[in-house]
Structure 1
Amino acid sequence: MDTMKKQDGFMSQKLIVLPDDIIAEYATHPLIRPLYITDIGYFPQALHHYRERPAGSAAYIVMYCMAGEGWVSLSGQKKQILQKGSVMVIPANMPHEYGSSETNPWTIYWFHMKGENADSFFEGIDQYTIPTQVSVENSAKIIELFHQCYDLLQKGYSLNRIIYVSQLASHLAALIRFSQQQPHVPGKQKKKHDLELSLQFMSDHLEQNISLQELADQAHLSVPHYTHVFKKTTGYSPIDYYLRLKIQLACQYLDLTEQSIKEISIRLGFQDPYYFSRLFKKIMGKAPLVYRNTRKG
């Protein structure tokens, strides 16, 4: 049996629970079936907000804390603090309870999601069940996606609206997946490693050559730790990824300039044009000249 501490609502709250018959009617549609929202809500300054579900929820629960703080406990484990600017996903069918701080009550946006792709979005990544800070930019996107979904559903449950909301749900899930796969190293905030900064550093130095040691130093990590974190997140070693970014830029030069292959090679820091051509073919599946002569668009 689900338990709530506060039976009435919160001032200025927003809440929509889709009727079961609507979900049953639309959930098999090919554009809705992959992922869809069943419940959506916004609780501002939700003092005394508390919920306990001993059997869990049939849906994945996405919680984003915009202000204040609260806590979440999964399967009776230690409470985890959900603070301003952090997001957390409660897995489907997992017993849980959560509540707002009594001294600094949270303001939260939340979504319940189901669908045949829900497991693929949310399972298998430990970070999902740990509150994770998201960037200011992604926080704004989460809030924007909420309001788009809410405004659409508030105007009715037509098929086209539900399809649109389903696509917004996929965007939201992908955004959260992306945000939560950006690893951080424990320690002071200023020393946290944001992989996005490392990727930006690579992008800013594509016409130069940077070493693995320089990349690790920029990330404030040892070479082995940096390599492990980077490969776990991207699937590539740092230097392999860096070379792929160089080849990606080479494609742009081949498409948009009249520079020779040798000129492009040297411009990107490859002193040996033959090595550049071999690497280009390995990554792109065709030689630079063949790529340039291929019709595009």
Structure 2
Amino acid sequence: MSAPSKWPLPESGIRFMTPSFMIEKLARHPLTKDCYPTAIGYYPSAAGHRMQRTRHDDNLLMYCVSGQGSLTTDDWQGKIRPGQVLLLPQGLPHQYKADSRDPWTLYWVHFQGASTGIFTQYLGYREGTPVVDAGLSPTLTANFNSLMSVRRTGYSARAFINAANQLRHVFSEMALEISATQANTQHNFNLEQIQDFMREHIDGQLTLEQLAAVAVMSKYHFSSKYKRLTGYPPIKHFLNMKMEYACQLLDSSDLSVNAVAGALGYDDPLYFSRLFSKTIGTSPRSYRASIRR
């Protein structure tokens, strides 16, 4: 594997490497072989931190939470600022260093596994684009701190299996943060505001024109951007929210199916039931019966 830098570690810093015998276990175990950590760490105010690798044998993710640094690869060069994530997949030569005046603080993880390429692409890595913006997220820093608790387990195999799956959770949580940050920074597209508007009108109907007006965009541009960020066309996503809320009402109340339909703005209960069945895969009555067995 690619060894971490030999940056002098301060008392509050963390550098932990998974031992080779554990890496061999993780590479074979069915619960971890797709993705597992080979080294993890936390470098606070890392003055003098730098690294150059012409050969990169594993994958590296670095999350900058304060300060600045810089990164150079064969096809990218630039400054790194707080909230940004460096994605350096296996085989990508690179060099990076902390800023001399305002050195970065980093969480980082080296990782291997059969599906690491899928994870880095899911996080947004593309050739020529090794840096993505996740914003400053307390949830992510808490997840990294939780991941690093594995270093105090006496090399427990079960603890490392848990850590490998925690790492997958870190990646999936980071993907959500990246998506939200992209939505809020690109063209002033406030995805959270739009979805709050949807929830405020969960008891009625919304048109594409109304949603586009909230975003102050043409309906065609809005629809394209919304789908790119969420995976759904906006009206389809609004329908999913309505059916999600319908499930909550069926779970937590004694409202009749007709009353649930009315609470969601449907005058025709049969039409509501058809939409519910198409989305959830079962009728409202069957859904309620299944959860109350």
- CA shift at 1:66, angstroms? 1.3
Alpha-carbon separation, structure 2, partners of 1:260 and 1:185: 39
Inter-CA distance 290–161: structure 2 relative to 1 (3 Å threshold): closer
Is 1:157 paired with 2:162?
no
Alpha-carbon separation, structure 2, partners of 1:38 and 1:201: 43
Which of residues 251, 254, 261 in structure 1 aligns to 2:257?
261
Q: What is the identity, as a one-letter code, of the residue corresponding to 1:180?
A: I
Inter-CA distance 160–8: structure 2 relative to 1 (3 Å threshold): same
Is 1:292 paired with 2:288?
yes
Q: What is the identity, as a one-letter code, of the residue corresponding to 1:65?
A: C
Alpha-carbon separation, structure 1, partners of 2:173 and 2:226: 19
CA RMSD of aligned residues (A): 2.6
Contact 2:123–2:171, Cα closer than 8 Å, also in 1: no
Instruction: Give aligned-pair identity as a percent.
Output: 28
Alpha-carbon separation, structure 2, partners of 1:22 and 1:261: 54
Which of residues 246, 254, 258 in structure 2 aligns to 1:250?
246
Alpha-carbon separation, structure 2, partners of 1:286 and 1:7: 58
Normalised to the residue count of structure 2, the TM-score between the two structures is: 0.86
Inter-CA distance 285–164: structure 2 relative to 1 (3 Å threshold): closer
Inter-CA distance 27–296: structure 2 relative to 1 (3 Å threshold): farther
Inter-CA distance 295–155: structure 2 relative to 1 (3 Å threshold): closer
Aligned residue pair count:
288
Alpha-carbon separation, structure 2, partners of 1:23 and 1:263: 56
Alpha-carbon separation, structure 1, partners of 2:36 and 2:121: 16
- CA shift at 1:241, angstroms? 1.0
Contact 2:82–2:135, Cα closer than 8 Å, also in 1: no
Aligned partner of 2:33 in structure 1 is: 33
Spell out, residue by residue over 1:56-111, the C-alpha distance to the aligned partner (whole angstroms, 9 max, x if none).
x222211111110112223x224232211222322221121111112211111110
- CA shift at 1:10, angstroms? 4.1
Contact 1:71–1:80, Cα closer than 8 Å, also in 2: yes
Which of residues 177, 180, 202 in structure 2 aligns to 1:179?
177
Q: What is the identity, as a one-letter code, of the residue corresponding to 2:58?
A: A
Q: Mind listing any 5+ residue stretches in structure 2 that lack a counterpart?
A: none
- CA shift at 1:168, angstroms? 1.3
Classify the secondary structure of the residue corresponding to 1:123. helix
Which of residues 95, 102, 115 in structure 1 aligns to 2:93?
95
Spell out, residue by residue over 1:237-260, the C-alpha distance to the aligned partner (whole angstroms, 9 max, x if none).
110110111112112223333333
Q: Mind listing any 5+ residue stretches in structure 1 that lack a counterpart?
A: none
Inter-CA distance 58–296: structure 2 relative to 1 (3 Å threshold): farther
